[in-house]
Amino acid sequence: MSAREQLTEAMAELLWERGYAATSPRDVMARAGVGQGSMYHHFSGKHDLAVETFTEVAEVLTEGSSVLEGDGSPLDRLKGYLSVPRPGTRGCRIGRMTQDPQVVADAELIAIVANAFDIALGRWEQAIADAIAAGELPTSVVPADLARTLAAVIQGGYVLARAKGDQAPMDAAVRGAVSLLDAAHAAATHD
């Protein structure tokens, strides 16, 4: 594996473990097993290395949300994607970055994060619109709103799980959201 790849891989690991601000180029080079000269040959600095790493991580994660475009009824796809196992205490590799002031202040980095959310939210929105069209959710539901609600449940679940150092709050938040979707389904059926 090339030094460049070893560097982005080490950066990705450290971003997840420690976040952006707390990760120094020194740490990255040590984990990558690469000298300082290599790092500054391939990248102009910490920011540049982060841009490439963010891009790679965002691509992997946005592929995940394509579960929403799979088989089954729209409501089942929504519930299925909500219930995908997520390591709550480790946090979302993308969502976590929004709370790092150094990332938010970096226009290029936050744009990568925002774009990843846009892709995932678009898929949520389409699946919700499909569920409404199929009569599985009430027509009073606004797809763009509910998409953000369900994405927020997951992102907020990570926050609660990290606050307690425990996976349980994440799982509880998802169960509660599923039960609301089931209740809304029942309401739609009664119409």
Partner DNA sequence: GTCTATAATCCGATAGAC
Partner DNA sequence: GTCTATCGGATTATAGAC
Q: Which is nearer to its own copies, 3 or 171 (CB)?
A: 171
HSE of 69, CA atoms in CB hemisphere, 13 A: 11
Judged by CB under 8 A, the residue of 38, 55, 73, 98 near its own copies is 98
CB-CB neighbours of 31 under 10 Å? 17
The listed partner (its own copies, DNA, none) that binds 65, CB under 5 to 8 Å by sort, is none
Minimum gap (Å) between residue 6 Cβ and DNA: 9
**What does DSSP assign to residue 38?**
H
Q: Is 102 in the site for its own copies (CB under 8 A)?
A: yes
Binders of its own copies among 25-44, rule CB under 8 A? none
Cα torsion 63, 66, 70, 74 to 10°: value is 160
Residue 40 interacting with DNA (CB under 7 A): yes
Closest to 131 in 3D by CA, of 182, 61, 176, 63: 182
Angle (CA) 164-60-87 rounded to 5° is: 20
Q: Is 172 in the site for its own copies (CB under 8 A)?
A: yes
Residue 46 lies near DNA (rule: CB under 7 A):
yes
CA distance 31 to 157: 30
Interface segment toward DNA; rule CB under 7 A; list 36-44, 67-75, 85-93, 142-150: 36-44
165 binds, among DNA, its own copies, none (CB under 5 to 8 A by kind): its own copies
- Positions touching DNA (CB under 7 A) are 2-4, 23-27, 34-38, 40-42, 44-47
